[in-house]
Chain A
Amino acid sequence: MKKKLGLMVTAMLTAGTLLAGCGTSDEGKTSGGDKKDFKVAMVTDTGGVDDKSFNQSAWEGLQKFGKENNLEKDKGFKYLQSTAQSDYKPNLNSLIRQKYDVVFGIGFLMGADVETVAKQQPDAKLAIVDMVVKGDNVANITFSEHEGSFLVGLVAGMQSKTNKVGFVGGVNSELIKKFENGFKAGVLTANPDAEVLVQYAEDFNKAEKGQQIANTFYQQGADVIYHAAGGTGMGVFTEAKNRKKNGEDVWVIGVDRDQHEEGMPENVTLTSMVKRVDQAVYEVSEQAMNGKFPGGKIVEFGLKEDGVGIAPTQDNVDKDALKSVEDYKKKIIGGEVKVPKTDAEFEEFKKNLK
């Protein structure tokens, strides 16, 4: 008897947890509205809409779009929060059923689900950020991370005193390779004598691994480390802070957004490579509204489209470095400099440098 009671208590606790997770998602009652009106919506991944990263940035882009086009929140533009991976499909479907003209899936985690939903709902228009999937009704939003990484590479190359810098990657993949090769090209352009240490943690969520890699790099004499490793990168910050406290002159370069705050109070963030998801979401929404929805295409946001760049906080960057960043930004946009994406392109780039 008591055993049954106990089981019930445990079951209730489990149910309570699941319900607690639902607490924040607002399933607003949205009516169909006027069919002439253009409506956009997005589905967050499990990070939530206030993750200070992609989801938040995308939502800012939608808000900007909504404001400029006099759309009403939750009717003209809205988001649905996903608390678990199993929420992606229902959320996407629910927005499509509510007749949103474009539905954004934020983050590569949603890739497979966006692809399935696109196949099931051929009339719907979907967009996926940071991923390329099949389907004529899906716009694939990608970024030229290599171009942004090139710029922070320039800064690293110029401000490294030891001529040794490091790169910590999350998982060795085509995407993160873009960061690596762009960065290496930037470093070597600014400082041909520099050596770049590279290591992949093979995990995006293991801060202790990031810390250990950073420890190894700094120990070998590197003084600037660029991380493209999500939560693993927090460990890089930890290690840099420890060393700065003990009087060493070391820096970290942040990724995806301005990570200045992560480096405080020891002030270890040299600069960050930012990805403007808000800009991308805004652009694609506008294109769709004007009847130019890039379905089935890959839309790449680079320096030219203001889709990548270096962070607005530039207190720690030297004037010379900033100037050279501006120079190369122009050169990249103008097509004079082609930043390598893959290992093969990097080797080619290196040969031409000499």
Chain B
Amino acid sequence: MSFMDILALIIPAAIVSAAPLIFTALGGVFSERSGVVNIGLEGLMLFGAFTGAVTIYYGEQFGLNGAAPWVSFVVAMIVGALFASIHAVASISLKADQVVSGVAINFLAAGLAIFLTKKIFNAGQTPVISERISKSNIPYLSDIPVIGKLFFTNAYLTSYLAVFVALIVWYVLYKTPFGLRLRSVGEHPMAADTMGINVKKMRYIGVLLSGALAGLGGAVYVASISGNFTHSTITGQGFMALAAMIFGKWHPLGALGAALFFGLAQAISISGAQIPGLQDIPKVFLLIAPYVLTILALAGLVGRADAPKALGTPYEKGKR
């Protein structure tokens, strides 16, 4: 295997496994930038995966064919937002502890999704879907020498969508008045309130958007990677996304980079076992590589991660 072949193996794989994390991490950025901690990302992603699997399955039955996964993405976003509204009501309107509420979301999603799966399909898992997002070469772009082979061959369309959405989120958060308001209620809600910004409304929007994006992440995972929903489909990916968001310093492009970094580390760790040169390294080192790399990156390269100032504190009008 030449060096190019190795790169062509690792880089597309990294992009593939990063996509669901990118969506979910972007969701986390919205929520936490508005000042609401969202531990519930895991649960929201899980429920999105469940919704995605069910929607695609029934979409196939109704003859949606290739459109079924895309329809499921939209449905999963809506359902994810609805699910996140529980978190929003509890932590914004009722001023509950945001971490507790997020944990409750995780429990609720896991229990409810399995319960509904059993009720709907009378089985512990959804049937395997046949309409998936498949790998393909991007026309024209895949013909570019070097770059084409690395970035535009054998890839999922959803991966590019993830990168594109990250750019949009960056633009919205940093270049629009809406983004400024959202960030301001996360930094100093009282100041924002004084300036006439509706703090509660902005936070609701942030949390609902996080639900929508996490739901999308889950559905993308089902449509592109796992192919069905079981109790073990989403185990920890939501927390990985949360970590990617913190790693990325609550910045959309940072989260994008962190998710890609996680994907790359995992791809190296897995494909490494078959690559000449890396093959001779004891397997355990390859297995722990992603985690070691993450710790090194966090400790050495990234520097201090500053959370939004008002993160985790409910806003009470008139309180000093």
A interface residues, Cβ below 8 angstroms from B: 2-3, 5-7, 9-11, 13-14, 16-18, 20-21, 23-24, 46-48, 50-52, 197, 199-202, 204-209, 211-213, 215-217, 219-220, 230-231, 234-235, 237-238, 241-242, 245-246, 261-262, 264-265
Q: Which of A2, A207, A246 has a CB less than 8 Å from the CB of B94?
A: A2
| Chain B residues whose CB sits within 8 angstroms of the CB of A242 once the complex forms | 134-135
* B173: Cβ under 8 A from any A Cβ: no
Q: Is the CB of A238 within 8 A of B226?
A: yes
* B201: Cβ under 8 A from any A Cβ: no
* B4: Cβ under 8 A from any A Cβ: no
Q: Mark B129-157, 1 if CB is under 8 A from A, else 0.
A: 01010111000000000000000000000
Distance A330 CA – B61 CA, assembled complex (angstroms) = 44
Q: Which of A20, A46, A205, A238 has a CB less than 8 Å from the CB of B112?
A: A20
Tell me how far the C-beta of A2 lies from the nearest C-beta in chain B, rounded to whole angstroms: 5
| Chain B residues whose CB sits within 8 angstroms of the CB of A2 once the complex forms | 93-95
Among residues 291 to 308 in chain B, which have CB atoms less than 8 Å away from a CB atom of chain A? Answer: none
Which chain A residue shows the least CB distance to B1? A220
Q: Is the CB of A211 within 8 A of B225?
A: yes
A/B interface sample: 21 pairs, CB < 8 A: A3-B97, A6-B96, A6-B97, A9-B89, A9-B96, A13-B86, A13-B105, A14-B107, A17-B111, A50-B123, A51-B123, A51-B125, A200-B283, A201-B270, A207-B226, A207-B227, A213-B270, A215-B271, A216-B273, A238-B226, A262-B227
Q: Which of B104, B124, B274 has a CB less than 8 Å from the CB of A220?
A: B274
Which chain A residue shows the least CB distance to B102? A10
Q: Is the CB of A238 within 8 A of B107?
A: no
* B198: Cβ under 8 A from any A Cβ: no
Q: Which of A6, A23, A199 has a CB less than 8 Å from the CB of B115?
A: A23
Q: Is the CB of B130 within 8 A of A264?
A: yes
* B159: Cβ under 8 A from any A Cβ: no
Among residues 218 to 241 in chain B, which have CB atoms less than 8 Å away from a CB atom of chain A? Answer: 224-228, 230-233, 235
* B9: Cβ under 8 A from any A Cβ: yes
- For the residues of B in contact with A, the DSSP-based class is helix
| Chain A residues whose CB sits within 8 angstroms of the CB of B94 once the complex forms | 2-3, 5-6, 9
Which chain A residue shows the least CB distance to B128? A262
Distance A241 CA – B223 CA, assembled complex (angstroms) = 12
| Chain A residues whose CB sits within 8 angstroms of the CB of B273 once the complex forms | 199, 216
Q: Is the CB of B274 within 8 A of A216?
A: yes
* B114: Cβ under 8 A from any A Cβ: yes
- A10-B112 contact in complex given A212-B267, A242-B135, A246-B136, C-beta closer than 8 Å: no
| Chain B residues whose CB sits within 8 angstroms of the CB of A204 once the complex forms | 232
Q: Which of B17, B96, B128, B232 has a CB less than 8 Å from the CB of A10?
A: B96
Q: Is the CB of B115 within 8 A of A24?
A: yes
- A219-B91 contact in complex given A21-B114, A52-B125, A199-B274, C-beta closer than 8 Å: no
| Chain B residues whose CB sits within 8 angstroms of the CB of A5 once the complex forms | 94, 96
- A231-B232 contact in complex given A6-B95, A24-B115, C-beta closer than 8 Å: yes
* B13: Cβ under 8 A from any A Cβ: yes
* B259: Cβ under 8 A from any A Cβ: no
Tell me how far the C-beta of A284 lies from the nearest C-beta in chain B, rounded to whole angstroms: 24
Which chain A residue shows the least CB distance to B21? A208
Distance A216 CA – B7 CA, assembled complex (angstroms) = 11
| Chain A residues whose CB sits within 8 angstroms of the CB of B231 once the complex forms | 46-47
Which chain A residue shows the least CB distance to B96? A6
Tell me how far the C-beta of B102 lies from the nearest C-beta in chain A, rounded to whole angstroms: 9
Q: Is the CB of B111 within 8 A of A51?
A: no
Distance A82 CA – B93 CA, assembled complex (angstroms) = 37
Which chain A residue shows the least CB distance to B60? A265
Among residues 1 to 60 in chain B, which have CB atoms less than 8 Å away from a CB atom of chain A? Answer: 1, 5, 9, 13, 16-17
Tell me how far the C-beta of A23 lies from the nearest C-beta in chain B, rounded to whole angstroms: 6
Q: Is the CB of A238 within 8 A of B104?
A: no
- A197-B274 contact in complex given A6-B91, A212-B17, A231-B230, C-beta closer than 8 Å: yes
Q: Which of A46, A50, A208 has a CB less than 8 Å from the CB of B118?
A: A50
| Chain B residues whose CB sits within 8 angstroms of the CB of A230 once the complex forms | 232
- A212-B270 contact in complex given A10-B104, A50-B123, A52-B124, C-beta closer than 8 Å: yes
Distance A213 CA – B273 CA, assembled complex (angstroms) = 9
| Chain B residues whose CB sits within 8 angstroms of the CB of A216 once the complex forms | 9, 270-271, 273-274
* B289: Cβ under 8 A from any A Cβ: no
Q: Is the CB of A208 within 8 A of B225?
A: yes
Distance A322 CA – B232 CA, assembled complex (angstroms) = 35
* B287: Cβ under 8 A from any A Cβ: yes
- A17-B95 contact in complex given A23-B115, A220-B1, A241-B132, C-beta closer than 8 Å: no
* B110: Cβ under 8 A from any A Cβ: yes
- A20-B111 contact in complex given A7-B97, A212-B266, C-beta closer than 8 Å: yes
Tell me how far the C-beta of B160 lies from the nearest C-beta in chain A, rounded to whole angstroms: 16
| Chain B residues whose CB sits within 8 angstroms of the CB of A202 once the complex forms | 287
| Chain B residues whose CB sits within 8 angstroms of the CB of A3 once the complex forms | 94-97, 314
Q: Is the CB of A217 within 8 A of B274?
A: yes
Distance A5 CA – B123 CA, assembled complex (angstroms) = 37
Distance A242 CA – B154 CA, assembled complex (angstroms) = 9
Q: Which of A7, A200, A234, A238 has a CB less than 8 Å from the CB of B100?
A: A7
Q: Which 6 pairs between the two chains have the least Cβ-Cβ distance?
A: A6-B96, A6-B94, A17-B111, A205-B232, A51-B124, A207-B226
Tell me how far the C-beta of A4 lies from the nearest C-beta in chain B, rounded to whole angstroms: 9
| Chain B residues whose CB sits within 8 angstroms of the CB of A238 once the complex forms | 132, 224-227
* B122: Cβ under 8 A from any A Cβ: yes
| Chain A residues whose CB sits within 8 angstroms of the CB of B86 once the complex forms | 13
Tell me how far the C-beta of A294 lies from the nearest C-beta in chain B, rounded to whole angstroms: 30
| Chain B residues whose CB sits within 8 angstroms of the CB of A51 once the complex forms | 123-125
Distance A238 CA – B273 CA, assembled complex (angstroms) = 21
Distance A265 CA – B136 CA, assembled complex (angstroms) = 18
| Chain B residues whose CB sits within 8 angstroms of the CB of A262 once the complex forms | 128, 227
- A234-B226 contact in complex given A6-B101, A7-B100, A262-B128, C-beta closer than 8 Å: yes
| Chain A residues whose CB sits within 8 angstroms of the CB of B111 once the complex forms | 16-18, 20-21
